[in-house]
């Protein structure tokens, strides 16, 4: 029996809905645990943001970005981080899945392996990052006195999808190296630290060589710096205007496609655990 | 005492075997150092000095903060969590050594190994890529070393006290993160609190955290007079006494609890 593309897609959506329902239920199984993360994660971001506020108050601005604009940048950075945590955090642990032969289970099921790997492990805890992100973003929009139009909302949604795909794609790319190295190195912490430093502050403060790398080679600049400067009309020297959020989406899709191809190539080399 | 020296020795040997973790921390601290150095350079672009500190001193501050962070790595909170989580704590306590003494000795052992594996490489990388972090007034060296020693002890006691929460909450991985962020942000390790608004920095001065990073680093870059440093050292010492007192009391409490439950 051959299913049409439409039926196939509906099947995937069906499974996704079930999986999300299960993920939510497991969270409420351990209420004390989520209470801990509900304090820990927002605390981290609220304090990080408070520091930006204090520093900007002492120094005026960072590379031409004032306080409200930095808040918008920080907000987009944290929201896209949270979304990538919800859907793609598994990429950080791919090495363990390779070493332990966990992919066997996925290979035997009639669904895409990459799809199963990410979506059967949805991390609802990421919501604890999402809330402070949205708060800071809304606060920043108010500080900048932005007009909230339908077009503005569409731009923000498009750039967030793009930014999440870029982050997710990078996690998959890093995780997929495990297929070749056969080692379970957890890149999560380092990726996180680099991403924090390059998406929460304007990358224009880094030297030009580093900016070039972050724009064209490892496109982290597109996660928050370019789309937000486009949104707020801050000159960034590469591209401006409403078109930037759509370029962000394009970059995200491109990174994801490359990551998917690299993952599939890696999976061919996968030999399960043991010998 | 000899028992604990053996533990320290074993821990040094153990630390030598996990090589990747060692390189990992160097990479991490390098990223933090380099990115913060550009951050401060961007901030100081339009002014020479802020809150009585110039850009050069601030760079020294962040390099030394990374170097110091190696000394302030603790594992005691995770060790307590494991021992409570696995239920081995009752038998661990029956051994003829003080359980917390063992954890302390282990942390000392790890740090002694890390001085060579981590601290010196980070200092070298910072000196090559950013600047050589020279001490402002080398006459302050004894004060600096003393405050580092006290800061190490304060940091360890805070970690141990957080670990004690495991005796009631069992799973404290989220709390360990909370503690990490609290210390990172409130101790002046990333941004010294003299950049914070008056009211906030007053509140933070009343807490023990700034005596972990900011006091030794202020002495190092020579911010404030020697008299001020001496006064702050005294407060640091008082905090050490307070935390030690709380630690002893809490330790007695949890030990009794385990004895009751464990029979």
- Return the closest-CA partner of residue A11 out of A86, A115, A83, A117: A115
Instruction: Give the residue from chain B lying closest to A206, CA to CA.
Output: B38
pLDDT at B234: 92
User: Which residues make beta-bridge pairs with A62?
Assistant: A65
Query: Which residues in chain B come in under a pLDDT of 70?
Result: 18-21, 259-263
What is the distance between the terminal CA atoms of chain A, rounded to a whole angstrom? Answer: 36
Distance CA B99, CA A196 (A): 38
Which residue of A lies nearest to B43 if distances are taken between CA atoms? A62
Contact A59 B47 (CB under 8 A): yes
Nearest residue of A to residue B47, measured between CA atoms: A59
Cβ-Cβ contacts under 8 Å for B90 (sequence gap 6 or more): B258, B261, B262
For residue A31, is pLDDT > 90?
A: no
Q: Per the CB < 8 Å rule, is A32 touching B47? A: no
Q: Hey, how many other C-beta atoms are within 10 angstroms of the C-beta on B59?
A: 21
Confidence (pLDDT) at A238 = 72
Q: How many angstroms separate the CA atoms of A272 and A106, rounded?
A: 11
B66 neighbourhood in chain A, CB within 8 Å:
none
Partners of B62 on chain A (C-beta within 8 Å) are none
The stretch A211-239 carries a mean pLDDT of: 84
The interface pTM score, or ipTM, of the predicted complex is: 0.74
Q: Cα–Cα distance between A168 and A173 in angstroms, integer? A: 9
| Structural domains counted in chain B | 1
What per-residue confidence (pLDDT) applies to A185? 64
The predicted structure's pLDDT at residue A54: 84
H/E run at residue B54: strand B53-54
Mutate to test the interface with A, among B166, B181, B200 (most CBs of A within 10 A): B181
Lowest mean pLDDT among A126-135, A177-186, B95-104, B130-139: A177-186
pLDDT band for A274, please (50, 70, 90 cuts). Answer: low
Round to whole Å and give the CA distance between B202 and B223.
Answer: 17
d(CA A225, CA A45): 18
Task: Say yes or no to pLDDT of A2 above 70.
Answer: no
B33, B43, B44, B171: which to substitute to probe chain A, counting the most A Cβ within 10 Å?
B43
Please tell me which of the candidates B27, B38, B197 has its beta carbon nearest to residue A206: B38
Chain B CB contacts of A33 below 8 Å: 171, 174
Instruction: Tell me if B181 and A47 make a contact (CB, 8 A cut-off).
Output: yes
Range of the domain at B21: 2-262
Count of CB atoms situated within 10 Å of the CB of A16 = 14
pLDDT reported for residue B43: 83
Is B109 in contact with B74 (CB distance < 8 Å)? Answer: no
At residue A275 the predicted structure's pLDDT band, cuts being 50, 70 and 90, is very low
Tokens describing residue A230? 């486009």
pLDDT value for B139: 82
On average, the pLDDT of chain A sits at: 81
CA dist B17 and A271 (Å) reads 28
Say if the Cβ atoms of A51 and B31 lie within 8 Å.
no
How many Å apart are CA A205 and CA A221, to the nearest integer? 12
Residue B154 pLDDT: 93
Identity of the highest mean pLDDT range in A110-124, A245-259, B190-204: A245-259
Q: Do A59 and B35 touch (CB under 8 A)?
A: no
Judged by CB atoms within 8 Å, which residues 27-66 of A form the interface with B? Answer: 32-33, 36-37, 39-41, 43-44, 47-48, 51, 54-55, 57-60, 62-63
User: Contact A58/B195, CB-based, under 8 Å?
Assistant: yes
pLDDT tens string A148-175: 888 888 889 999 999 999 999 988 888 8
Torsional sign, CA A159, A164, A169, A174? positive
What the block records as the tokens of B50 is: 């802020």
How high is the pLDDT of residue A183? 66
> In angstroms, what separates the C-alpha of A52 from chain B's closest C-alpha?
10
Summarize pLDDT for A52-95 with one digit per residue, the tens. Answer: 888 888 887 787 888 888 899 999 999 999 998 888 877 777 77
Is the Cβ–Cβ distance between B194 and B53 less than 8 Å? Answer: yes
Q: Answer whether A55 sits within 8 Å of B46, measured CB to CB.
A: no
Buried b (16+ CB within 10 A) or exposed e, B166-187: bbeeeebebbbbbbebbbbbbb
Residue A160: the pLDDT is: 92
Give the residue among B8, B75, B112, B65 at the shortest CA–CA distance from B219: B65
């Amino acid at each position: 029996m051959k299913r049409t593309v439409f039926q196939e897609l509906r099947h995937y959506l069906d499974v996704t809905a079930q999986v999300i329902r299960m993920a939510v239920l497991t969270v409420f199984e351990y209420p004390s645990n989520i209470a801990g993360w509900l304090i820990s994660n927002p605390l981290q971001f609220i304090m990080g943001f408070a520091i930006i506020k204090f520093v900007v108050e002492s120094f005026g601005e960072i590379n031409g970005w004032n306080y409200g604009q930095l808040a918008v940048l920080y907000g987009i950075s944290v929201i896209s981080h949270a979304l990538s945590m919800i859907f793609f955090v598994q990429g950080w642990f791919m090495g363990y899945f390779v070493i332990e032969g966990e992919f066997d289970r996925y290979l035997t099921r009639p669904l895409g392996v990459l799809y199963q790997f990410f979506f059967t492990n949805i991390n609802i805890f990421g919501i604890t990052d999402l809330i402070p992100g949205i708060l800071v973003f809304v606060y920043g929009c108010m500080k900048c006195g932005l007009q909230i139009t339908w077009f503005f909302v569409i731009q923000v949604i498009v750039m967030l999808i793009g930014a999440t795909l870029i982050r997710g794609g990078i996690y998959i790319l890093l995780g997929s190296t495990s297929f070749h190295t056969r080692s379970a190195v957890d890149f999560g912490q380092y990726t996180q630290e680099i991403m924090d430093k390059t998406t929460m502050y304007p990358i224009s403060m880094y030297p030009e060589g580093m900016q070039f790398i972050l724009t064209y080679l490892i496109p982290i600049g597109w996660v928050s710096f370019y789309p937000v400067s486009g949104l707020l009309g801050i000159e960034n020297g590469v591209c401006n205007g409403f078109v930037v959020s759509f370029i962000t989406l394009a970059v995200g899709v491109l990174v994801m496609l490359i990551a998917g191809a690299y993952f599939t190539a890696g999976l061919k080399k996968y030999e399960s655990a043991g010998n | 005492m000899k028992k604990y020296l053996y533990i320290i020795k074993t821990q040094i040997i153990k630390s030598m075997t996990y090589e990747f973790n060692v390189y990992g921390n160097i990479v991490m601290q390098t990223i933090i150092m380099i990115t913060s150095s550009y951050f401060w350079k961007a901030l100081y672009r339009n002014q020479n000095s802020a809150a009585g500190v110039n850009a050069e001193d601030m760079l020294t501050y962040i390099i030394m903060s990374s170097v110091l962070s190696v000394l302030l790595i603790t594992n005691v909170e995770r060790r307590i969590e494991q021992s409570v989580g696995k239920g081995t704590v009752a038998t661990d306590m029956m051994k003829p050594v003080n359980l917390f003494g063992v954890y302390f000795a282990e942390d000392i052992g790890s740090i002694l190994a890390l001085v060579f594996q981590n601290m010196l490489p980070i200092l070298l990388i910072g000196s090559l890529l950013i600047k050589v972090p020279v001490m402002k007034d080398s006459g302050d060296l004894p004060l600096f070393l003393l405050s580092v020693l006290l800061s190490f002890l304060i940091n360890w006691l805070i970690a141990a006290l957080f670990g004690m929460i495991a005796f009631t909450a069992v799973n404290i991985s989220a709390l360990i993160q909370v503690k990490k962020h609290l210390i990172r942000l409130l101790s002046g390790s990333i941004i010294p609190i003299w950049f914070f608004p008056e009211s906030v920095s007053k509140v933070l001065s009343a807490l023990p955290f700034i005596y972990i990073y900011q006091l030794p680093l202020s002495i190092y870059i020579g911010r404030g007079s020697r008299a001020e440093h001496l006064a702050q050292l005294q407060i640091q010492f008082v905090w050490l006494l307070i935390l030690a007192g709380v630690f002893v009391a809490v330790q007695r409490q949890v030990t009794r609890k385990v004895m009751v439950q464990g029979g």
